[in-house]
Amino acid sequence: MLDFSHLAELSRLHCLGICAFLVPSNLLATLTTLGVVGMGKPPHIKRLSAAVAMILAVTMILHVWTWFAVGVVQAPTFILLSLASVCLGLNSLALAAPHPVVLGYRWLRRLWHRYSEASAVKSGGY
């Protein structure tokens, strides 16, 4: 039988490695979901990307809660909990209401296009 106290202890014991993996992968997975939704990819790709990102976010939340369970209340625990919550919220938003994500993606593309044109003019072209 799986004992959750042993799993929580393992999580706390390997905290540096877990966080070193979860923080960048959480950010990259969420950005991938926002990009996939913004580009208007097929629904099954959107759901798969969001599912992976949500699993990573929930894993980070559970990891942080193992620290709260033993009484560690410090800035890193709140920062990691906030990061995971924001990523979970963005992925939920991307699935539930994709229109703002698409508008944000279009706005960023226009901004990037203007920046690259201005940069090309300054440097005398490509």
- Write the DSSP string, 39-64: HT--HHHHHHHHHHHHHHHHHHHHHH
What is residue 125's predicted lDDT score, i.e. its pLDDT? 57
Residue 11 φ/ψ region, left for φ over 0, alpha for ψ in the -120 to 50 degree band, beta for the rest: alpha
Would the pTM of this model clear 0.75, i.e. be above it? Answer: yes
Own/partner contacts of 104-109, CB < 8 Å, gap of 24 or more, are 104/34, 104/38, 105/34, 105/35, 105/37, 105/38, 105/39, 106/38
What is residue 126's predicted lDDT score, i.e. its pLDDT? 56
57-81: average pLDDT: 91
Residue 2 — pLDDT band, cuts 50, 70, 90? low
Residue 124 φ/ψ region, left for φ over 0, alpha for ψ in the -120 to 50 degree band, beta for the rest: left
24-49: average pLDDT: 96
Residue 24 — pLDDT band, cuts 50, 70, 90? very high
What is residue 109's predicted lDDT score, i.e. its pLDDT? 92
Q: Is the pLDDT of residue 63 over 80?
A: yes
Which structure tokens are listed for 57? 């976010």
